[in-house]
Amino acid sequence: MKIFGFDRSDVRLILNIWRMNLADRYLGSALGGTWAILNPLFMFALFTFVFGFVFKAKLANADSTLAYSIWLISGYGPWLAITEAFTSASNSVVGNAGLIKNMAFKTEILPVSATLLGLVPLAVSLVFLLLLQIISGDGWSWRLLWLPVILCIQFIFLIALGLFLAIINTFIRDFGIVLPNLLMILLFSTPIFYPIEAMPSVIRALTIINPFHIIVQAYRFSLLDGQTFPAFSLIIMTILSVLLLWVGLCVFRRVKGFLPSLV
């Protein structure tokens, strides 16, 4: 059975390339792929120390000094996955020129496997958060059962956009330089470090349909108490993500014949 033109052998190839990309990133280092876990872990620990014990930032109606750190990481963890996915996907074709020129395979597998690298920082953030909730005494909720659904919706959306980013960066190399700046703008225009109530009312109305805000809000609902579940927004986003994925694959398959001459 094929899904979006991929069969079981393609799935195995996606996983193999995913492992290869993860190993290549830390090639030559003593700890190797362990850095993929240590880097986000260090950042989350730093956030917890600074906001939980130095500034002692607190959320409204929250007693624990760790509440703000937990709230922040519950949004920033998914954002790290988004950043990693988009950065890796945009460079997936250009960075694998040797494979494209010397092997016959479905090259659309490259941005798909590259996007899935975002699973690593996301997994680290979720494990860190769950442990932090135990330490703070908050405990876990049944809403954690929503995590697999939210994760699937998020990565369908990221893979769909990753296909377009890979195409754009192949044809316009300057895009790879601009992308980090665009991601920085998206980071601070999305309520991750601050609540949406802090935004002006006009901007707040637009933020509600921001797909990155919908993703963050969905994770916060599943991980924290007192958060609104964006059910309708998630349904619409799922439909649009599937359509965008189909369009992205069609466009990629249409232009992939030009890739060997461009990389």
Q: Give every CB contact of residue 133 below 8 A, 6+ residues apart in sequence.
A: 70, 139, 140, 223
Residues 223-250 have a mean pLDDT of: 91
Is 10 within the bounds of a domain?
A: no
What pLDDT is attached to residue 133?
A: 86
Is 219 within the bounds of a domain?
A: yes
Is 57 within the bounds of a domain?
A: yes
Domain extent for 215: 17-262
Instruction: Supply the DSSP symbol for 194.
Output: S
Is 3 within the bounds of a domain?
A: no
pLDDT at 175 over 80: yes
pLDDT grade for 256, boundaries at 50, 70 and 90? confident
pTM above 0.75, yes or no: yes
Residue listed under structure tokens 């377009």: 164
Q: How many domains does the chain have?
A: 1
pLDDT tens-digit map of 27-64: 666 666 677 788 888 888 887 777 766 766 666 665 66
Residue listed under structure tokens 């007693």: 63
**Rounded to an integer, what distance in angstroms lies between the CA atom of residue 193 and that of residue 176?**
25
**Rounded to an integer, what distance in angstroms lies between the CA atom of residue 230 and that of residue 101?**
44
What pLDDT is attached to residue 83?
A: 95
**Rounded to an integer, what distance in angstroms lies between the CA atom of residue 204 and that of residue 11?**
40
pLDDT tens-digit map of 52-105: 667 666 666 656 667 788 888 899 999 999 999 999 999 998 888 788 887 778
Q: For the chain, what is the mean pLDDT?
A: 86
Q: Give every CB contact of residue 211 below 8 A, 6+ residues apart in sequence.
A: 157, 237
Is 4 within the bounds of a domain?
A: no
Q: Give the rounded percent of residues in the chain with a pLDDT score beyond 70.
A: 90
Is 201 within the bounds of a domain?
A: yes
Q: Give every CB contact of residue 113 below 8 A, 6+ residues apart in sequence.
A: 13, 14, 15, 17, 18, 21, 92
**Rounded to an integer, what distance in angstroms lies between the CA atom of residue 227 and that of residue 247?**
33
CB atoms within 10 A of CB 41: 16
Residue 245 in contact with residue 160, Cβ under 8 Å?
Answer: yes
Buried b (16+ CB within 10 A) or exposed e, 125-136: bbebbeebbeeb
Closest among 120, 13, 32, 34 to 77, alpha carbons compared: 120
Is 12 within the bounds of a domain?
A: no
Is 6 within the bounds of a domain?
A: no
